Homo-oligomer: A and B are copies of this chain.
Amino acid sequence: MQYSEGQVGRVFTVRIDDGEDFIREIQRFVTAMNIQSGMIHFLGAVRSAKVVTGPKEPVIPPVPRREEIFGGWELLGFATIYPGEEEPSIHIHTVAGKGIRSLAGCLREKAEVYLVIEAIVTEFVGISARRLPDEKTGVSLPVFDRTLP
């Protein structure tokens, strides 16, 4: 088990508006604020979004199963931020609900805001981390400076 230890730094309250792309905007925000490591909590709604909802089969490397949602879905989500190869790498999971339906997975590519998404971005300081492509699993994984054997 790899890990790193740090402290909480700055906290940002963020509002992403109707019609904006949540993924692009939060990426832009994290870059502009020069946040190296941290986490994001968010709530709000989307007009449409793409969500990876598990693998087709639980094998390595994964072949993602994809869903696309349309028409006003409520969101509740959480993301981690680590330095990527070029820019901050943000891994976002969400649950999305509409009526009695809901799905949960990894928000990817595009998520067009409906009305508003409110996000809290919490910065960590003192963390040693990078998110890098991992040969064994075929996905990008955070690499930390410490190990609990």
Q: Give me the interface of A with B, judged by CB distance under 8 Å.
A: 1-8, 10-18, 20, 25, 28-29, 32-33, 37, 39, 41-45, 47, 52-55, 57-58, 60, 62, 65, 67, 71-80, 82, 91-106, 114-116, 118, 120, 122, 124, 127, 129, 136-137, 139, 141-142, 144, 148
Contact = CB atoms under 8 A, between A and B. Distances in A.
A122 to B, nearest CB: 7
Given A11-B5, A115-B139, A99 B144 contact: no
Copy count, this protein chain:
3
Given A18-B60, A53-B97, A118-B142, A6 B1 contact: no
User: Is chain A's binding surface mostly helix, strand, loop or mixed?
Assistant: strand
B76 A57 contact: no
B118 A53 contact: no
